[in-house]
Chain A
């Protein structure tokens, strides 16, 4: 399988507000040295706490946020430094579905207008009639009715609006979709409908998904591979069932422990929360909270280790990985 998307050493820094005239600008690093590959036809999950940079990464891939350094390659072509005009052909190939379906739809345009607009703008269809016919097809595909094209977004429920978002994203027949928490604003029963729909579409059109979320049980059900993000760094990548059965990184373990099970669980001992400390040390950003941290962890950030376990790649960045009883692993340092 070839890689559809390749991200190398990607970094994003946001300038911080600074009222002093001659003081050097300070930056907040939202993403730091991110390396990620997405294969064709794969569903890759991206998990992390809020503020870990998941959505920023999704937006950078889509070209909605510029990168500070590093490269993003789509089908082997560099796309991170394109001008707005040069980006246009890529919009035919990649689309995004947003978390908040209300604010991502235009309240003053009918659904039909919103679905046909990108088709007409980018010349996928030759006439308005054809675009309308296509949009009816799309609405039927996502489980809505043909008369819905004349309605406005406020006339729909949250689940229906998310379906419209999906129909609009599919209008240009993309091959890659970024799903930014598509179900976190929905009820469980509607969530199931939307997830099933997304899976149906993925199989039908052989799409590639980047699924951003924080609900690990959804990710486990939905994704082939999972990347765990923590404070802008990718700390572990593994196949989803392996990550669940044997997390290597303490952060993954912490995230897994926070999944609510249907049996009563033991209460977590750490009930306290402290304010975000702004002083950064050079070491692992999790070391302050980690039970396994040693002096080494505070000094430098661990390198990403890649292991091949019966041909399947697994990578993590930790000095004290968990679940390492299997000794026959072949360890490679990049």
Chain B
């Protein structure tokens, strides 16, 4: 049994302009100890998918309209906030893009960590301190005592993200949702944080759902990838398969837009491949494929209905929602 199974999840926001379908029928599953990535542009619904799993959809406008979220076989959709409290931060933990806003600026790191550790079960003050020191060691902080007595603003961005990860790990979660954990960090620190997440995954067996728009992060860390566009998953597969043979035009465009993909020495072609236009309005989604307007392969068929999933390889591990996936390769 998969650790987490999301099926046909639909999360909407009611606004004065109409219903925004932020997540529009997303299905995927994560096994124990797996690292999976949700990739997409901003506004594609990846963060809302993460928040939906944790029951943190912004209130009062947001609502899960349909679908199931099975965590260890138990459906989380429709749970009361008291019941959910046991899962939030306990079984499933989340780390955010900006650790500074996720911490309380007026308490020391120590105070904040002890509070979390002591909130679950009977833990004495001294024991809590020992656990916090151990956690900070685990995330690669050299002088835990000094960090415990300092305030969030006194730490560097990379340090803060490490503390954030330590806090998330304090209740030994089975699943860690990381929402763009390295986007705000610079390149050298980014690599360290990714290696740290990999190490934690190996040592504690925590499954990780990582939300990102950077294929570099995916390549370095993840076992499988789901590419999202306008609230839907458009391609899913194992990292190696997707990176070597993307079959959805959007995945291909996203990868082509990365400067890393520019062949060394190809100075003649001195422009990046770009996906023209912008994502569609999530209130008035087109009936057919949502990528229709920006796609080079689009035909009349694409306009009519959203394509069904087709397998892109023989083993059936990679699938794609596109009529023209054979032409893309």
Contact = CB atoms under 8 A, between A and B. Distances in A.
Contact of B261 (A244, A262, A265): A262
Range for the number of chain B residues in contact with chain A: 35 or more
B283 interface: no
Interface in A212-269: 214-218, 220-222, 241, 244, 254-255, 257-265, 267-268
A191 B275 CA distance: 10
B187 A271 contact: no
Nearest to B154: A275
Interface residues of A, number: 46
A188 B257 contact: yes
A273 B140 contact: yes
A189 B257 contact: yes
Interface stretch (A104-112, A192-200, A307-315, A326-334): A192-200
Contact of B274 (A189, A216, A254): A189
A158 B183 CA distance: 15
A192 B273 contact: yes
A188 to B, nearest CB: 5
A190 interface: yes
B260 A262 contact: yes
A276 interface: yes
Q: Would you call the interface of chain B mostly helix, strand, loop, or mixed?
A: helix
B146 interface: yes
Contacts of A192: 256-259, 272-275
B158 A262 contact: no
Nearest to A263: B219
A300 interface: no
A275 B260 contact: no
A172 to B, nearest CB: 26
B187 A259 contact: yes
A49 B219 contact: no
Interface stretch (B80-88, B121-129, B189-197): B189-197
A184 to B, nearest CB: 9
A285 B272 CA distance: 36
Contacts of A18: none
A189 B41 contact: yes
B188 interface: yes
B141 A187 contact: no
A193 B259 CA distance: 12
A159 interface: yes
B144 to A, nearest CB: 11
B274 A260 contact: no
B188 A49 contact: yes
A259 B190 CA distance: 9
Interface in A267-281: 267-268, 270-276
Nearest 3 Cβ contacts at the A-B interface: A260-B216, A192-B257, A221-B259
13 contacts: A49-B189, A50-B156, A159-B278, A192-B256, A192-B272, A193-B274, A193-B276, A195-B272, A217-B262, A244-B264, A264-B219, A271-B195, A273-B159
